[in-house]
Each structure stands twice: as structure tokens, then as C-alpha cells.
Structure 1
């Protein structure tokens, strides 16, 4: 699945962190109930930094990005 290959790639990690930071920034700047958006933004930041993909196990793939890349022959 192309989406999972992207999410497990280094570019996918960077994209998740950037999207998460964007969500946190928007939620924090708007305040009020928008803080929930900031909390949701913590998930993509954490998964990008820790090199895990929470969607992988749903499709029978490993949680660890390193293990996925090793099994797929990528670096």
C-alpha cells in the first residue's frame, strides 16, 4: 500500500511532524475548544519522532518504521 510506504519513509516522518506542529499551532493560537486540536496534533508529532506508524498494525505491518523498512528492503 503506497500510503503506508510513504508514512513509514523518512519523508513521511517529517510530514507527520510538520502536520502535528501545524495542528498544535492552530489549536493553541485559536484557544477555547480549539485546544483539543492541539492535543490531537500531539499524536502525529509523537509517531513521527518515535518512528512508529499506528496504522501499520491495522494492515498487518509492524508498528516500528525501522522494522518495516528492513522487511521491505529500504533504508
Structure 2
């Protein structure tokens, strides 16, 4: 699980979250109706990638913010 967290903290992981969020938002637009739930989830993914934080990190005792999160894995 730690390797997944390390990936999510990397630049590639951040871009993956942003792209996944955009896909969810586009899917929500296509589906309509209850698709707004997907749009909200997509917005969270976009925000997490854009503002450099990982929502899963506190569940594993790691800092939420990106720079501190990456530092926790190097020390």
C-alpha cells in the first residue's frame, strides 16, 4: 500500500488524479441525472491533484500536504 501512496505523491500520481477527475466530470455531463455525484467526486480528485494533497495519507499516518508527504517517505 505504501508504494501506491508514494505514486500518488509523485508528479505522475498528481497528473493521474487530475486526469481521472476530468474523466469523471465528463462522464457525469454525459450521464446527466444522478451524474452530479460523479462530478463532485471528480472535482475532489482534480482539487487533490492540483493543490498537492493526498486524502489517503492521514489514514496511514502520513501528512496531508504534498511536500511534507514526500519528505515522510525519504526520511
Query: What is the TM-score normalised by the length of structure 1?
Result: 0.90
- Unpaired runs of 5+ residues, structure 1, are none
- Unpaired runs of 5+ residues, structure 2, are none
* Alignment size in residue pairs: 73
Shift of 1:27: 0.3
In angstroms, what is the RMSD of aligned CA positions? 1.0
User: Which residue number in structure 2 is paired with residue 47 of structure 1?
Assistant: 48
User: Which residue number in structure 1 is paired with residue 33 of structure 2?
Assistant: 32
Q: What are the superposed Cα offsets for residues 7-65 of structure 1, whole Å, 9 maximum, x if unpaired?
A: 01110000000000000000012111112111111111000001000100110000011
> Within 1, Cα distance between the matches of 2:31 and 2:72?
43
> Within 1, Cα distance between the matches of 2:40 and 2:73?
32
Query: What is the TM-score normalised by the length of structure 2?
Result: 0.90
- Structure 1 stretches of 4+ moved >6 Å: none
User: Which residue number in structure 2 is paired with residue 68 of structure 1?
Assistant: 69
